[in-house]
Structure 1
């Protein structure tokens, strides 16, 4: 699998596989930025927050962009996600990954709701 395919696959798993999977693929001291009320999260607070801990039923990522410099890669995309009986969630997202040995770990993630 190419680096690009690996990163996009990992990004989709963050949305669909739940908190434990996300925790296993996240760098220590990662920083996530979510819409209000969650805000900026780091450390253990990442895994207590409902926005991170819950799985999404379906996720469609479009307008995908990848930028890579050595062991750092940034993804940018538009997401449309569904969970339970809630309205579809549309957002612009970025995630930054760092390669630690042979493993890509998420170092940051940010979501901006789009309308």
Structure 2
């Protein structure tokens, strides 16, 4: 599910994100929430390939926390490398992403 956020673009991500979700991108995008998330150009762009490693998941009742390292490629730009975390809430039978954060790897 997390990989789909990277590869399906904003429309797919919007359906899997809580209405009051918060996303933190590296500068200059910064902290985005509400409708601002979907106006940010970095959310709308799809990645051609995504490789996740160092995956960690912690699930407590209806909350799941994911942490991972990602290397994403669009083909026409250098590989994007970041450390990421996402928090999900299980609402009925659906997992919705509440937060997502990316820290660039130098």
Bigger helix share? 1
SS in 1 for 2:43: helix
Report the number of matched residues.
Answer: 106
Q: Report the counterpart of residue 71 of structure 2 in structure 1.
A: 80
**Correspondences of 1:1-115 after superposition (within 5 Å):** 10-115=1-106
The separation in 2 between residues aligned to 1:56 and 1:50, in whole angstroms, is 13
| TM-score normalised to structure 2 length | 0.98
Q: CA deviation at 1:50?
A: 1.2
- The offset of 1:83, in angstroms, is 1.4
Give how far 1:84 is off: 4.0
Q: How far did 1:99 drift? A: 0.2
Q: Distance in 2 between matches of 1:83 and 1:40?
A: 23
Whole-Å separation in 2 of the counterparts to 1:98 and 1:65: 17
Deviations 1:20-51 (A, max 9, x none): 00000000110000000000000111111111
TM-score, length of structure 1 as denominator length: 0.90
Describe the SS at the equivalent of 1:21. helix
Q: Which runs of 4+ in 1 moved over 6 A?
A: none
